[in-house]
């Protein structure tokens, strides 16, 4: 059985495959593995809305059960922003490095004891018959003043999870998966995926 992850992000695809592999027997394919179709704009006001938008489109276009996630960084000192705009914080054409630089600039004057943040994820499962499920995950922590580490992607190099001294970019993939917002959400989704595949 195949499950489509509605993303062209190879790091996210590898992450979902790692997390689901011990839990569900399924071949996870990404959008790059399927005939191309236009990506639907993420117009939702919440992570859950955006995840559902992407999963619905992928299920409708492919006829396969589809998983999509929307996730981002919520910074306390920025009133929860960049939030759903995390991937486009420095502009729609900007990449991870520009987004990360902008967040660091925006909190440059914030004292260490007020640099709290959280990674938040909503993961949606949508089946071709229209059934929908959403699971959430959150990883709290603090922001560094400069990037550290080369693993992960996005804001990982400036985020230190609660209880850790290393950034998420300094953790091994297995260590990150065990505590990450996406790991929590995808593990919560795994039994729902298993239920869909055995129907």
> Residues forming the annotated binding site for substrate?
7-12, 71, 153-156, 176, 181-182
Assess whether 70 carries a catalytic annotation: yes
In DSSP terms, 141 is beta-bridged to: 117, 161
Tell me the residue length of the chain. 199
> Is the Cβ–Cβ distance between 30 and 5 less than 8 Å?
yes
CA atoms within 13 A on the CB side of 43: 3
Helix, strand or coil for residue 166?
coil
Give the tokens for residue 28. 């996870």
Sheet containing 2-5: give its strands across.
Answer: 27-30, 2-5, 66-75, 116-126, 132-143, 159-161
> Which of the residues 33, 69, 70, 109 is marked catalytic?
70
Rounded distance between C-alpha atoms, residue 31 and residue 66, angstroms? 10
Q: Which H or E run contains 120?
A: strand 116-126
Q: Contact, 67 vs 193, CB < 8 A?
A: yes
- Give dist(CA 116, CA 36) in Å, integer: 40
Binding residue ranges: 7-12, 70-71, 153-156, 176, 181-182
Binding residues for Mg(2+): 70
The residues carrying an active-site annotation are 70
């Amino acid at each position: 059985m195949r499950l489509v992850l509605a993303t062209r992000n190879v790091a996210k695809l590898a992450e979902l495959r790692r997390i689901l592999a011990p839990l569900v027997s399924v071949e996870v394919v990404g959008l790059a593995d399927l005939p191309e179709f236009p990506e639907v704009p993420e117009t939702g006001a919440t992570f859950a809305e955006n995840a559902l938008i992407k999963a619905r489109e992928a299920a409708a276009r492919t006829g396969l059960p589809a998983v999509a996630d929307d996730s981002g960084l919520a910074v306390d000192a920025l009133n929860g922003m960049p939030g759903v705009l995390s991937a486009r914080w420095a502009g729609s054409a900007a990449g991870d490095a520009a987004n990360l630089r902008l967040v660091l600039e925006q909190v440059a004057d914030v004292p260490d004891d007020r640099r709290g943040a959280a990674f938040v994820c909503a993961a949606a499962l949508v089946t071709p018959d229209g059934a929908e499920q959403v699971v959430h995950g959150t990883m709290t922590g603090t922001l560094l003043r400069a990037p550290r580490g080369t693993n992960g992607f996005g804001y990982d190099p400036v985020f230190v999870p609660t209880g850790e001294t290393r950034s998420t970019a300094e953790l091994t993939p297995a260590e990150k998966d065990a505590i990450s917002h996406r790991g929590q959400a995808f593990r919560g989704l795994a039994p729902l995926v298993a239920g869909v595949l055995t129907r």
